[in-house]
Chain A
Amino acid sequence: MAVLGIPILEDLYPSTMDMWPLEAKEFNRNWTFYENLKAGRLTTTKCKSCGHVAYPPRVICPECYSEDLEYTDLPTKGKVIIFSEEVKGVPLGFDSPLIHAVIDLGVDPARRVLTRVINCPAGTLQRGDEVQLAVFPVPALPIDKGRQGTVMSERVFFAFEPVKK
C-alpha cells in the first residue's frame, strides 16, 4: 500500500518511523534480550569481571568497561509504587487507557522501573498491586537480504499486567 503523499514508498519499510526496537541480530548486539523475552524471561547483562548488573542491557560494563558480560534474569513480578492513567488523547501506537507505572521488582537495578501496564481496565489499578511480565508480539522487521529477498524477523515486546487476585 502506498504512503499518502509519498507514492514512491509503496511496500517499503522506513525504519525511521518504526516505534519498536530493531531487535534482530543484524541490527542489535543486545538481541539476546529479545530472544529471552520470547521465552518469557526478563533479563539484563551482568559483568563477569566485576559483577555489576546494569539495566538496560549493554555491550560493555559501564563500571569497568569489560566486554565479558552474561545475561541474568530479573524478577518477572513486581509491585506498583505509583501509576498514571491517560484515557483521552492517547498517542498513535497505544490503546486507551495508556497506563504507566513505576514498579519495584525487588532487586537492584530494578527497584523503580517505569513500564506500561496492559490488560488493565481504567480505574482498577491501585498502588501496591502486584503486576507480572506480559510479553506480546509486535510487527515483524522486514530485512532486505539482497537476492534472498525480504526476510521477516519476528519481534516481541513487553509490558506488565495485573496479577489476577
Chain B
Amino acid sequence: MARNAVILAGGQSKWGVREAHIVDLFQEAAKACLDDVPNLKPKDIDGLIVATSYAGRCSFQVNTAPVIAERCGLKPTSICTRCDTLCAGGSTAIILAKGLVESGCADIVMAAGGEKLYTPQKWEVFYSELASVDHDWDGVHGMGLPPPFFALTAQEHMMHYGTKKEDLAAVSVANYNYAATNPVAQMQKALTLEEAMGAPIVVPPLTLYDCCPITDGAAACIITTEEIARKFTDRPLVYIRGTAQTCLNSVSANFPGAHLADWKHTRIAAEKAYSRAKISASDVKVAQTHDCFSISEVIEVEELGFCKKGEGGEFCRSKQIELGGKVPVNTDGGLLAVGHPFGATGIRQGTEIMKQLQGRARHQVKDADIGLTHNLSGANAEHTILVYGREPVK
C-alpha cells in the first residue's frame, strides 16, 4: 500500500532580532512544533533534517544536525542530516522528508530550519552575504546583498509591463497587515499605502517596506505518513501532493529568462509541481510565495499562473492577494513582515498552509483545500514549489 506523506505539526520561535544562540532558537522551534500536537513526543521522532545555510559562517558550526538533535532531545535512528539551499532550505527539508517517509526509509521526520544572522558586530552578516550568491562571479561585484538585484528586476518589470511603485507598495501593505496580529512576526505593525510610498530609499525603485528584514529565528514541522499521523491527531490531514525544485543557472549572467522579470525557471517548477500534484493553477486557494521583495510577489503570482504574465501588479493592487481575493498570498505576513531566517522560511510557509487547510489559520481562507508554498534562492537561481492538499493524489 502506498505511503502518503502528510505534514502533522508545525511551529516557530519568535522571529526578529533575538538575544539567543542558534541552538536556542532550534529548541524553541522544536517545542513550538511538538506543542502543536501534544500527543507526539521527542522519542517518537526517528528522523531529523536540519536546514541552515549560515550556521557555518555566523555561528561557527558545521555538521549542525547532530548538535540540533541532541539539544532538542531527539535520538534519530533513520536519518539525521542537514541541507543547505539558503532561502529554500526549509522547503528542501520537507521535500526530502516526504521522499524518506513515502519510501519507508523513515517514519516520523522533523524538518527544522533556522539561522542566527545578527552577529555581535553587524557588518559581519552583510559581509558574509557575499557567499549567498556565486562568490567569485557575482558576490565579488557586490551582489551578495540582494536589493540591487531585485531593484534591477523591478525596473525591468516596470519597463516591460508598466508596473508602478504603487503595485509594489500594495504587496507590502497586504503582508504587513497580515502580520500585524502575528505574535511571532518580526514586524507586527499595520502599514498604510502612504507610509509604504513615502518610505526611505534602499535601491531605487525599492524602498524600506519593499525589502524583507534580516531575521534570527527557527521553525520546525513534522512529516510522516497518513497512517502514523492518524495515531496522533484528529485534525484533518494535510498531504504533500507534489513538489519540484528547478535550478537552471547560478551566475546571474546565465539567468534563464529573456530579462530579469521573466522567470522561466518558476514556470518550469510550477508546471512540474502541478503535474505531480494533479492540479492546475486555478485549483490553488491559498499560497505562501517568496516575497523577499515586494516585486518578487508581483512576479510570482504571474509565473505561478494566478494571473496573466505582466498583470501581477494589477493583481496585487486590486487586492486579489488579500482575504476575499482570488488567491490570498502570504496570509501570515510572509517574508516581508514575519521575517526571513533563510532555512526556516519554507517550514514557516508549510506550517501556515497546514493551518489554512485544517481551517485554523489566523487569517483563514474559506474552504481552502489546495495550498502552495514557493521559494526562490540565490541570485534568483533556483525555484522550489510544494503543493499541499486535503486529499492525497489519487
Contact = CB atoms under 8 A, between A and B. Distances in A.
Interface of A: 16-17, 19-21, 55-56, 82-94, 98, 100, 102, 109-110, 112-116, 157, 159
Contacts of A93: 127, 130, 142
B166 interface: no
Interface stretch (B1-9, B185-193, B251-259, B286-294): B251-259
Nearest to A91: B126
A109 B254 CA distance: 8
16 contacts: A16-B57, A17-B127, A56-B137, A56-B251, A82-B152, A84-B148, A91-B126, A91-B129, A92-B126, A93-B127, A93-B142, A94-B142, A98-B148, A100-B148, A100-B152, A109-B254
A100 B140 contact: no
B46 interface: no
Contact of A159 (B57, B141, B159, B254): B141
A82 B159 contact: yes
Given A55-B253, A94-B142, 14 more contacts: A16-B57, A19-B130, A82-B155, A82-B260, A84-B155, A86-B203, A93-B127, A93-B130, A98-B142, A100-B141, A100-B142, A112-B255, A114-B252, A157-B140
Contacts of A157: 140
B58 to A, nearest CB: 12
A84 B203 contact: yes
B141 A19 contact: no
Nearest to A23: B136
Nearest to A99: B148
A87 B204 CA distance: 10
Nearest to A117: B141
Contacts of A112: 253, 255, 259
Q: A16, A19, A83 — which one has the most chain B CB atoms within 10 A of its CB?
A: A19
A88 B151 CA distance: 14
B133 to A, nearest CB: 10
A114 B144 contact: no
Interface residues of B, number: 36
B124 to A, nearest CB: 9
B137 to A, nearest CB: 5
A20 B127 CA distance: 12
Given A82-B159, A84-B152, A114 B145 contact: no
Contacts of A110: 253
Contacts of B126: 91-92
A16 B62 CA distance: 14
Contacts of B148: 84, 86, 98, 100
B156 interface: yes
User: Which 3 A-B pairs have CB atoms at the shortest separation, nearest pair first?
Assistant: A114-B252, A21-B136, A84-B151
A111 to B, nearest CB: 9
B24 interface: no
Contacts of B135: 21
B328 interface: no
Nearest to B120: A5
Contacts of A94: 142
Contacts of B139: 19
B201 interface: yes
Contacts of B123: 92
A153 B270 CA distance: 47
A84 to B, nearest CB: 4
A98 B126 CA distance: 15
Interface string B141-167: 111110111011001100100000000
B253 A113 contact: yes
B138 A19 contact: no
B203 A85 contact: yes
A98 B144 CA distance: 12
A1 B251 CA distance: 36
Contacts of A88: 201
Interface string B104-148: 000000000000000000010011011000011111111111011
Nearest to A101: B152
Given A19-B130, A92-B123, A92-B126, A114 B140 contact: no
Given A19-B140, A94-B142, A113-B253, A85 B127 contact: no
B254 A55 contact: yes
A45 to B, nearest CB: 13
A156 to B, nearest CB: 12
A116 B141 contact: yes
B202 interface: yes
A109 B255 CA distance: 11
A114 B127 contact: no
A141 to B, nearest CB: 13
A83 B149 CA distance: 9
Contacts of A82: 152, 155-156, 159, 260
Contacts of B57: 16
Contacts of B254: 55, 109
